[in-house]
Amino acid sequence: MIDANEFFKEATKAISSNLKIDTALHRLLLVLQSAMPTDEVFLGVYDPESLTVRIIARALPGGGQLLEKVVSIPRGALATIARRLEEADPSGLTFILPGGDGDAVGSVMAAAFDKRGDYSALARLLFIEGQRAALLVLYSAGPGRYTAEHARLIDQVNDPLSIAVTNALRFQELVRLKDSLEEDNRALRKEMHHLVGDEVVGAQFGLRGVMELARKVAPLGSPVLLLGETGSGKDVIANAIHRMSARRERPFVKANCGAIPASLIDSELFGHERGAFTGAVARRRGLFERADRGTLFLDEIGELPMDVQSRLLRVLQTGEYHVVGGSASMRVDVRLIAASNRDLRRMVQEGRFREDLWYRLNVFPITLPPLRERLDDLPSLVHHFLQRKSAEQRLARVPPLGPGALQRLLAYPWPGNVRELQNVIERALILSPEGPLSFADLLPLPAGGASGGFSAPGDGSVRLDDFERCHIQTVLGRVGGRVNGPQGAAELLGIHPNTLRHRMRRLGIPFGRRATRP
């Protein structure tokens, strides 16, 4: 005799023990074998719209496996199956199926589960909330192996079986959606990478030292502190460090600490639980949770209040934090890059920034020079922003520069640095989308006239070749006309010397004996 209560307990425990449906199905098979003849167990999902059974898992004594097999229901068997489903009580929808083709339902099951010859089968329709959720099928070799007693045992575990299987199916769908989302995110990052590119304008000239430091620290997990005036491109360098690191496939999350209201900083950084405060109607993931296993870039970190600084220090030291309104400690693996345009050392002396946090952040400081100290990069930056902003504004072509435009840009002190240059170019494109761009109404011309060796042609336009010629001549002037060798123009420009000579020849820039000929 089979103890029905013991069978109910063991079967419920087995099917509920794991959200992986193949593992749970195998554990159920082991329980079933102690109560009835069972060689295999299959789990299928019935789709009434497409008239198919989708087999998703099977279990053998050696283990379980996931499947993805769709079997169509023959039209001749459909009426018989529908009638039996309508006439049966949902609490007792366990069918003993004869082997062979003597029964319509048995024929469908045989086709669906590849069974031929003498076999016995027991099929259970699992219901939840009044809807057919799944189909559980037991198989055993030989005819007449299952009895009404076996069917009653399966009937009594309908509810826990239905709930467990439905939860497992939902979990399987969540895993599928998660994998799909990660794949979409990877594709999106590749697309953004294709649009933005790896280029850091000025990496070979004004930012050369900065990029050398960035390449050294990028493969490591050390915190990085970027210092420099506002608009000098700290976010660009932070992004470059992330792309050169082992975390490049993980999230890069950015936040400006100065733009977050003081009352919401904890919630933004660490997240909050539902009901943690007025207006917290749902759980919110914080910046640290979103950046887990990736990089978190905190700009203007000097704007953080002192009490938040102490909590940030704890995350950096232990990798743990508490969600606002939560009691459990959360662990996180984040590489932090901080930035500030303030003198943090002076703020420490004045008691406005925690000294211990300063030492924790100042592991590897990198100072970015302002634009006025790297004017050699300005022609390349102008060309870069002209190309990008013209594409953003969907202009048919990149407008040319007018006479004296580059000289005016070179003579301006750029207190807003690269950000100001970008904004000025965008404003000029809006005002004169056809060109030529002069910047006369946007930038004041300093007393004494503009400086710089570039002279615009008299036809009122500047072509890309003019930019390139000016840039190459500027570099040649810095290196004394040397094209090849260490610290030569080719090395500084990052191209092969023969390529540089070819471009100089095309642009009419003399080199070698021609350059020294009177």
* pLDDT tens-digit map of 197-206: 456 777 777 7
The residues near 144 (Cβ < 8 Å, ≥ 6 apart) are 120
**Residue 72, SS3?**
strand
What radius of gyration, in Å, describes the C-alpha atoms of the chain? 35
* pLDDT tens-digit map of 387-442: 889 988 888 888 888 888 888 888 888 888 898 899 999 999 998 888 788 887 78
pTM: 0.57
Q: Give 34's Cβ-side CA count (13 Å radius).
A: 13
Which of 31-40, 127-136, 161-170, 489-498 is predicted with the least confidence, judged by mean pLDDT? 127-136
What is the per-residue pLDDT for 366? 94
What is the per-residue pLDDT for 410? 86
d(CA 177, CA 167): 15
What is the per-residue pLDDT for 73? 64
Query: What domains can you pick out in the chain, each with its CATH number?
Result: 4-171 (3.30.450.40), 203-369 (3.40.50.300), 372-516 (1.10.8.60)
d(CA 333, CA 343): 28
Torsion of CA 154, 156, 157, 158, to 10 degrees: 90
The residues near 461 (Cβ < 8 Å, ≥ 6 apart) are 400, 401, 402, 435, 436
* Two structure tokens written together for 50: 């497409």
Q: State the DSSP H helix or E strand holding residue 296, giving kind and residue range, or none if neither.
A: strand 295-299
DSSP letters for 331-369? E---EEEEEESS-HHHHHHTTSS-HHHHHHHTTSEEEPP
pLDDT band at 275 (very low <50, low <70, confident <90, very high): confident
Start-end of H helices in 350-432: 355-361, 378-392, 405-411, 417-431
pLDDT band at 376 (very low <50, low <70, confident <90, very high): confident
* Two structure tokens written together for 227: 């210092």
pLDDT band at 165 (very low <50, low <70, confident <90, very high): confident
pLDDT: which is higher, 134 or 136: 136
pLDDT beyond 80 at 174 = yes
Q: CA nearest 146: which of 125, 123, 162, 126?
A: 123
pLDDT beyond 50 at 454 = no
With b meaning 16 or more CB within 10 Å and e meaning fewer, what string describes 117-131?
Answer: eebbbbbbbbbbeee
Which of 165-174, 302-311, 454-463, 480-489 is predicted with the least confidence, judged by mean pLDDT? 454-463
Residue 333 near residue 290, CB atoms below 8 Å: no
pLDDT beyond 50 at 456 = no
Q: CA nearest 489: which of 471, 513, 515?
A: 471
pLDDT beyond 60 at 345 = yes
**Mean pLDDT within 215-244:** 91
The residues near 201 (Cβ < 8 Å, ≥ 6 apart) are 377, 380, 381, 384
The one-letter amino acid code at 3 reads D
